[in-house]
Amino acid sequence: MRTSILVVGAIVVVAALGLLAYYYFSQGHVDIYISDPPSPQRIAIYVTFTSIALHRVNANGTGGWIVLFNGSRTVELTSTPQLLLSASVPAGEYNEVFFTISEATVQIDGSNITARIPSGVFKVHIIGGMRLNGGSSEKLLISFPHVVFHDGELIISPSITAQVVS
């Protein structure tokens, strides 16, 4: 009886270690940062993200979306990169980041102005792609180039870039 308990215990330990090794070698880690270039004006931009996903490319050229976040998170865009999200994702090659923004507010000299966000949906190509190996970690920087004033309203430019940074 005692031998059976030891054998079962050993099997449980080996299985647990196997699962931990599988998870470690099949998952990578990504930190997503956002930034906005410095502005000559005294403005602050607050953006509310409601979803974030990464597009994984499979070996045969197809892929799928890995949802990292669904909810609501408001962050200030500054010239200093701000951590938006930290997540574990399956190892693989990623070529796009997709996110939705529900609202954006621009603060100019203490006054808040709602910015127009064309479609509110952004599908951004990752310059050079991003490769995550099991146990590896990458930093992805999403840069919002600028806010423009056009026909009496503020518009957040859809010309957004994403790139892996060290």
Q: Are 7 and 49 in contact (CB under 8 A)?
A: no
Q: 95 pLDDT band (50/70/90 cuts)? A: very high
Can you give the pLDDT at residue 20?
Answer: 43
Domain boundaries, the chain: 28-165
Total-model pTM: 0.76
- Give the mean pLDDT of 109-119: 81
| Mean of the per-residue pLDDT values of the chain | 80
Domain 28-165 indexed as CATH 2.70.98: no
Higher-pLDDT residue of 115, 22: 115
Can you give the pLDDT at residue 12?
Answer: 54
Q: Are 127 and 162 in contact (CB under 8 A)?
A: yes
Q: How many CB atoms lie within 10 A of CB 14?
A: 10
The DSSP bridge pattern shows strands 161-165 and 121-132 to be parallel
